[in-house]
Amino acid sequence: MSEKTKTQKKSWFKGLQAEFKKIIWPDRRTLARQTTAVVAVSVALGAVIAVIDAILRYGIDLLVK
């Protein structure tokens, strides 16, 4: 491995470390609230898709029979 490649890798890792220091990590309460919101929206969307699927399946069954 050349010296230039080693220098590039070190520079890349230093840049990565600098970027990670800029991240503002959420506190526990914020993380819990956001996770709850994501799970709730996912469940609600899943329910809506299931209802639409059941309605379409029933309508197609009526047309086919």
User: Hey, where are the domains in the chain?
Assistant: 3-64
Contacts of residue 6, Cβ cutoff 8 Å, sequence gap at least 6: none
Q: What is the pLDDT of residue 31?
A: 97
- For the stretch 4-58, pLDDT in tens is 777 887 888 899 999 999 999 999 999 999 999 999 999 999 999 999 999 999 9
Q: Is residue 1's pLDDT more than 90?
A: no
Question: In what helix (H) or strand (E) does residue 14 lie, and over which residues does it extend?
Answer: helix 3-22
Q: What is the pLDDT of residue 47?
A: 98
Contacts of residue 50, Cβ cutoff 8 Å, sequence gap at least 6: none
